[in-house]
Amino acid sequence: MVWSLRSYGVRRALVHLAALLGLLAASPALAAEQLVLAFGDSLTAGPGLKPQENFPGQLQAALRRDGLPVRVHNAGVSGDTTAQGRARLGWVLAGLKAKPDLAIVELGANDMLRGLPPARARANLDAILSELGKRRIPVLLAGMMASRNLDPAYRRQFDAIYPALARKHGARLYPFFMAGVWNNRAMILPDGLHPNRRGVSVIVGRILPHVKAALEKR
């Protein structure tokens, strides 16, 4: 009789433990928080926007609405070229409390606007992706396209950077970060360059499936 009572108590404890584990697995609020590093220039940083309106803020909100416990770290710096991004990547990663589950790399627009050699931008992005690869951090590479008023040869070289590097490093590619927003005045701030709150919402809506797929695979 004593043995059966003890056995019954053990069985009850196991049932309760299994139920608790099931609850933890099923509830996004109780699941481990994932970290997304948004590493880019002003398009990531969001000049003129509130924290909840910029790209990292809206992306985090969208992921959480879909039940994913994700924190998006804003590592965008206005004016950054690929060289400047490459130079600060190490200390950005060192300053994080955890290793990112995903890095969204969005750089290159300032190289293009300044007419810097595409080969230089490619080399810097290559180094950034290599460093993230060494640290086993998955990458979603956000592509940029050269302005259509630039020399055709320059445009071809610049536009080819992102798909080539995505293939080389096995990274996910989002072909054009500003898709659906570029040249749409209703989506752009008065400076004529950066997306407004509505524009960021469009960007987030388009890139969201790519981010979710990368996190789910992770």
Whole-number pLDDT of residue 217: 82
The answer on 77 and 20 residing in a single domain is no
As to burial, measured by CB atoms within 10 angstroms (0-12 exposed, 13-18 middle, 19+ buried), residue 45 is: buried
Whole-number pLDDT of residue 183: 86
The answer on 105 and 73 residing in a single domain is yes
The answer on 27 and 82 residing in a single domain is no
Q: What is the largest CA-CA distance in the chain?
A: 89
The answer on 114 and 18 residing in a single domain is no
Is 210 an annotated catalytic residue?
A: no
Count of structural domains within the chain: 2
Whole-number pLDDT of residue 25: 46
Virtual CA dihedral for 210, 213, 214, 216, nearest 10 degrees?
160
For the chain, 218 residues long, the average pLDDT of each consecutive 10-residue run is 42 48 46 93 97 98 98 98 98 97 98 97 98 98 96 97 98 97 93 96 98 91
The answer on 75 and 16 residing in a single domain is no
Whole-number pLDDT of residue 132: 98
Q: Which residues, at least 6 apart from 87, have a Cβ–Cβ distance to it below 8 Å?
A: none
Q: Which residues, at least 6 apart from 34, have a Cβ–Cβ distance to it below 8 Å?
A: 68, 69, 70, 71, 101, 102, 215, 218
Whole-number pLDDT of residue 7: 44
Question: Which tokens in the block code for residue 15?
Answer: 């049932």
The answer on 59 and 17 residing in a single domain is no
The answer on 13 and 47 residing in a single domain is no
Is 194 an annotated catalytic residue?
A: yes
Choosing from 7, 66, 147, 191, which is the catalytic residue? Answer: 191
The C-alpha atoms of residue 8 and residue 30 are separated, in whole angstroms, by 29
The answer on 38 and 15 residing in a single domain is no
Residue 139: strand, helix, or coil: strand
Any bridge partners for residue 106, and if so which? 40
Distance of CA 162 to the CA centre of its chain: 15
Question: Which tokens in the block code for residue 91?
Answer: 């200390």
Choosing from 42, 73, 101, 201, which is the catalytic residue? Answer: 42
Residue whose C-alpha is closest to residue 176's, from 190, 189, 191, 163: 163
The answer on 50 and 24 residing in a single domain is no
Distance of CA 161 to the CA centre of its chain: 18
* Beta carbons of 38 and 76 less than 8 angstroms apart: yes
Check which CATH number belongs to the domain holding 158 and give it. Answer: 3.40.50.1110
Is 42 an annotated catalytic residue?
A: yes
Choosing from 80, 101, 194, 201, which is the catalytic residue? Answer: 194
The answer on 108 and 205 residing in a single domain is yes
Q: Which domain holds residue 21?
A: 1-31
The answer on 119 and 56 residing in a single domain is yes
* Beta carbons of 169 and 139 less than 8 angstroms apart: yes
The answer on 12 and 64 residing in a single domain is no
Any bridge partners for residue 102, and if so which? 36
Residue whose C-alpha is closest to residue 172's, from 202, 134, 203, 216: 216
Whole-number pLDDT of residue 113: 96
